[in-house]
Structure 1
């Protein structure tokens, strides 16, 4: 019975990570689009929404600790929980960068338009796909996709 409860809580943890990831993907899409649009209201929204990522990280860390402290995970479970902890920390940091970019975007609105560097938007799309693939790899336990993300890092 205890293992069933653990599996259910682990499933909830992975779902929380997935939800945070979907929200991050949405934020990345907004930031990327806003580099060209330079919409002040959208930039402010992205900055404000950063608190949601901070809260998600704390909540997911709490879920991880509760699993570890109450359910006696085995080695494979520990690796999955540790991966979730690492991923949510990285996702929160990416959300911080989205907020920082949006703050710069607000400053750019006041300046004369400057063309983005060559291949900049293409690089952002590759990075966005890496985030999507990372989230998918951990939530689907997909080693091949994880290796693809690692290989793609050199491209960026």
Structure 2
């Protein structure tokens, strides 16, 4: 192939990978929203839909892996193009794990089924809304290859951490006073922790965006978080 033909083919592959990443982001956005809805309503049927839907996310993740590997092998990308593909691979992995966290919330609903509708602290839906905003803006930064916006989104995770810490103190206090059963309190904390981890992974995505754009590998959030 001529250089022009090779460039055209590489550009087409890059666009295809980008579109799959955006689709992954959309699936995660929907899964996290539906998972917390199922948790709030104790809706087992909806929770099972979220759990089943994780298979689609996993399949798309594997497709991105295959697409990136094939593009690297066939096109031999260099410099910025190679960084874009490597970043996409890492972003796809983060999104797949975020889907796992949403699935984890849904699985708590199945375990809790038959025990009544839980009273969900307002902090949980507030965390979700903030995380959805982070994810949406991180995807915008990815498409625009905007390292500055990615850094701004990463800083938003501090608010998620603050909300989770407040939720933890609230729930533990209610359990200690006997106002909340230990079992339900544990489920609420698990849901909150899952949302907090989704926020952490959005930050990881932002770091990949910065790498793709600048070639710099940087920790955009210096707080010590568990893996």
Alignment pair present for 1:53 and 2:57: yes
Q: How many residues align?
A: 156
Q: What's the CA shift string for 1:92-136, capped at 9, x where partnerless?
A: 111111111101012233224443345222112111222222222
TM value normalised by structure 1? 0.91
- Correspondence for 1:23 among 18, 21, 27: 27
Q: 2:41–2:117: 8 Å Cα contact kept in structure 1?
A: no
Match of 2:102 in 1: 98
Q: CA RMSD in A?
A: 1.5
Separation in 2 of the partners of 1:18 and 1:118? Answer: 29
The answer to whether structure 1 residue 116 and structure 2 residue 126 are counterparts is: no
Contact 2:10 2:75 (C-alpha < 8 Å) held by counterparts: yes
| Aligned counterpart in structure 1 of residue 150 of structure 2, from 129, 146, 150 | 146
1:83 corresponds to: 87
Out of 4, 11, 25, which is 2:15 matched to?
A: 11
Q: Relative contact order (alpha carbons < 8 A, sep ≥ 6): 1 or 2 greater?
A: 1
Aligned to 1:70: 74
Higher fraction of helix: 1
* Aligned position for 2:37: 33
Larger Rg: 2
Unmatched segments (≥5 aa) in structure 1 = none
Runs of 4+ in 1 over 3 A off after TM superposition: none
Residue by residue over 1:124-152, the C-alpha shift from the partner in whole angstroms, topping out at 9 and shown as x without a partner, is: 21112222222222122122321122111
Secondary structure of residue in 1 paired with 2:115: coil
Deviates more, 1:94-103 or 1:118-127: 118-127
Take 2:61 and 2:106, find their aligned partners in 1: how far apart are those partners? Answer: 21
Q: In the aligned structure 1, how far is the partner of 2:159 from the partner of 2:91?
A: 21
Conservation of the 8 A alpha-carbon contact between 1:27 and 1:98: yes
* Counterparts of 1:123 and 1:151, CA distance in 2: 15
